Amino acid sequence: MRKRKWLELLNLPKMLDCLLWQGARDSSGHGVVLYTDGKYWSTHRLSFRLNIGEIPKDTLVLHACGKANCINPAHLYLGDHIQNNQDRQRHRGTYQASGEATSYSILKESDVKAIRLWWHQIGCVLTMKQLADQFGVSKGCISEIVYNKTWKGINP
Ligand SMILES: [Zn+2]
């Protein structure tokens, strides 16, 4: 029963909202599950592995949305410990991003418009990774833009 529920969850349509794991969690807030390989997996890592692909050695699966128990593959991206720390700082309550004066100043308003246009109106022909490569930023950064976590008020 539990296994079937998990497998259903992983057959996700493309969702914009967080999909929060409601089962067991570890001390850091990540979901934990005993998978069919007999090992305990962090649910976000398992979601990434099954929905997106291999996780290279020594690589973390990070949350663009900042929610440790979110398993929406569209919110997950690969990164290292440095990025992880940056993410944590960014997602602290005090963080308020707006416009070109933030850490996203690598992008211009016109880039943000283009990214949103690609993602929302041209029907996702490019993946977030491809968009990220295209604009020279992280996948998490693209995710935050397309989900209006940053650069609010900039419309295509
Ligand atoms: Zn999420």
- CA–CA distances in Å: residue 105 to residues 7, 36, 50, 151: 40, 44, 34, 10
Beta strand 60-63 pairing with 40-42 = unpaired
Q: How far is the CA of 3 from the centre of ligand 1 (A)?
A: 22
> Phi then psi for 151, rounded to 5 degrees?
55, 40
pLDDT, residue 101, reads 39
Q: How far is the CA of 148 from the centre of ligand 1 (A)?
A: 13
Q: At what angle do helices 109-116 and 128-135 cross, to 10 degrees?
A: 160
pLDDT tier, 126 (very low <50, low <70, confident <90, very high otherwise): low
Q: Is residue 147 classed exposed, middle or buried when 0-12, 13-18 and 19+ CB atoms within 10 A define those classes?
A: middle
pLDDT, residue 127, reads 77
pLDDT, residue 91, reads 65
pLDDT tens figures, 77-124:
888 877 777 777 766 543 334 444 343 446 777 778 777 877 776 555
Which residues are near ligand 1, the ion (C-beta closer than 5 Å)?
18, 65, 67, 70, 72, 75
Q: How far is the CA of 39 from the centre of ligand 1 (A)?
A: 24
pLDDT tens figures, 8-61:
444 444 557 788 888 888 888 898 888 888 888 898 998 888 878 889 988 999
